[in-house]
Amino acid sequence: MYICKTLTDNKKDIRNMSLEDLQTAFEAAGMPKFRGKQVYEWLWKKGAKDFNDMSNLPLDTRAWLNDHFCILSVSVYAQQSSTDGTIKMAFKLHDDAIVEGVLIPTPTRVTACVSSQVGCSLSCAFCATGFLKRQRNLEAAEIYDQVWLIDQMARKQFGMPLSNIVFMGMGEPLLNYNNVIAGIQKITQPDGLGMSPSRITVSTAGIAKMIKKLGDDGVKFNLALSLHAANNAKRSAIMPINDSNPLEDLSEALNYFYQKTKRKITLEYAVMNDTNDGSQEAKELIRFAKKIPCKVNLIEYNPIDLANFKGAETDKIAAFAEQIEHAGIIVNIRRSRGKDIDAACGQLANKL
């Protein structure tokens, strides 16, 4: 297998080329235009990582591709399996950087949790990834590769293809806006993986102007806000991004997003003991939730070594949920998956 690790002066990253670019390149080289579509399908429908695997291309065409282009692919570096079936995967990028993704199976569906950046710059106090330095954004093809590899693992381990994708791994998706959108396009387009955008959720810590841009761009996927506190002072204490994107700006942006897309927002709320789990915090969450079309997901908080936060007790979470539900707001309690292998929400920190 030919592995292309880096770009050189005479080689282009072929997955940065559109179908039209590929067709033009083949014509310029004196080869049939339809070869471009064949290569495009190998890259995005079949997930090819090696030109030599493109079996319907002549040998001299494959040699020409190897001479002029690179596939900077992602590989599985390591993996761990949880007692509940969850699989955490460490992905090695072409520059040896590592990101993590998670395969979360249930009897009826399989969800992929994928990353959008190497590390993170937001420094949320309760999140393991927030303690890592942000190195760079992921390319669209690297986002696609995570989904492809997790899908292959799902088929192998559980006999089912991926049914859902959540951008809740490492990094802030809206700080890598263009590549995340381009990656989702490759995942959803008919000549890519053909997944429904309605089964994709992008989670953000809350960047108001980019939430509005999602609305302007008319995206078809779902949006989730990592809220975790509905009081500006409390939220800023655990999520510094709130200083520049306070709750008032976020509620305006979320309403704008809904007006443009008609897609309800999910508010994610990790319930932490004696931090955000009291009756007063529930009232604040209710006030915020009533400003926007939404539902609330209460998430069992998963402790990390670098912070002193603890998860709320089960009965306290139940009481919190009951208070919200009594106010007429749809609320779900999300149980942690993969906690024993540091694969649960907020635990990704390249510890494999």
Q: What is the pLDDT of residues 271-286, one digit of tens each?
A: 999 999 999 999 999 9
Whether the predicted pLDDT of 294 surpasses 60: yes
The whole-chain average pLDDT of the chain stands at 92
Q: Which residues contact 9 (CB under 8 A, 6 or more apart)?
A: none
Based on the domain organization, do 100 and 120 belong to the same domain? yes
pLDDT at 4 over 80: no
Shared domain check, 314 and 242 = yes
CB distance 212 to 257 below 8 Å: yes
pLDDT-derived band of residue 84, with 50, 70 and 90 as boundaries? Answer: confident
Residue 173 lies in a domain: yes
State the helix-helix crossing angle for 208-216 and 247-261, rounded to 10 degrees. 10
Domain assignment of residue 189, yes or no: yes
User: In angstroms, how far is the first alpha carbon of the chain from the final one?
Assistant: 26
Confidence category of residue 347, pLDDT binned at 50, 70, 90: low
Tell whether 102 and 24 lie within a shared domain: no
**End position of a domain, from candidates 70, 88, 106:** 70
CATH number at residue 32: 1.10.150.530
Whether residue 141 is found in the same domain as residue 18 = no
Domain end point (choices 70, 91, 116): 70
Tell me, what CATH number does 197's domain have? 3.20.20.70
Neighbouring residues of 113: CB distance < 8 A, sequence distance ≥ 6: 101, 102, 103, 104, 165, 166, 168, 169
Decide if 242 contacts 232 (C-beta within 8 A): yes
Q: Which of 70, 100, 142, 172 is catalytic?
A: 100
**pLDDT score, position 203:** 97
The pLDDT tens digits of the residues spanning 182-206 come to 999 999 999 899 999 999 999 999 9
Residue 243 has a pLDDT of: 98
352 in a structural domain:
no
What pLDDT does residue 252 have? 98
Q: pLDDT value at position 307?
A: 81
> Quick one: 108 and 161 in the same domain?
yes
Whether 341 shows a pLDDT value over 80: the answer reads no
Give me the mean pLDDT over the 25-38 stretch. 97
Based on the domain organization, do 87 and 110 belong to the same domain? yes
Asked if 267 and 295 count as a contact pair (C-beta separation under 8 A), the reply is yes
Please tell me the distance from the alpha carbon of residue 162 to that of residue 230, in angstroms, as a whole number. 33
Mention every residue, 6+ apart, whose C-beta is less than 8 A from residue 134: 117, 118, 119, 120, 121, 171
Domain count, the chain: 2
Active-site residue identified among 120, 127, 294, 345: 345
- pLDDT tens digits, one per residue of 37-56: 999 999 999 999 999 999 99
- Higher local confidence (pLDDT), 130 or 190: 190
pTM: 0.92
pLDDT value of position 161: 95
Specify if 5 maps to a domain: no
345 is catalytic: yes
Does residue 94 sit in the same domain as residue 239?
A: yes
Helix (H, G, I), strand (E, B) or coil at 168: coil
- Quick one: 64 and 87 in the same domain? no
Could you tell me if residue 137 is inside a domain?
A: yes
Q: Which residue has the higher pLDDT, 3 or 137?
A: 137
Residues 37 and 96 in one domain: no
Alpha-carbon gap, residue 118 to 93, rounded angstroms? 10
Q: Is residue 2, in this structure, part of any structural domain at all? A: no
Judgement on whether residues 64 and 160 belong to the same structural domain of the protein:
no
For residue 263, the SS3 value is coil
Express each pLDDT in 199-250 by its tens digit.
Answer: 999 999 999 999 999 999 999 999 999 999 999 999 999 999 999 999 999 9
The verdict on residue 346 lying in a domain is no
Q: Given this model, what pLDDT does residue 277 score?
A: 96
pLDDT computed for residue 105 by the predictor: 94
The rounded distance, in Å, linking the Cα atoms of 323 and 307 is 28
pLDDT at 2: 46
Q: What is the pLDDT of residue 101?
A: 94
| One domain for residues 53 and 94 | no
User: Is the pLDDT reported for residue 80 higher than 70?
Assistant: yes
Question: Does the annotation count 120 as an active-site position?
Answer: no
Query: What pLDDT is stored for residue 6 in this prediction?
Result: 58
Which of residues 249 and 346 earns the better pLDDT score? 249
53 and 201 both lie in a single domain? no
**Residue ending a domain, choose from 53, 70, 87:** 70
Q: Which domain holds residue 38?
A: 12-70
User: Helix, strand, or coil here: 91?
Assistant: strand
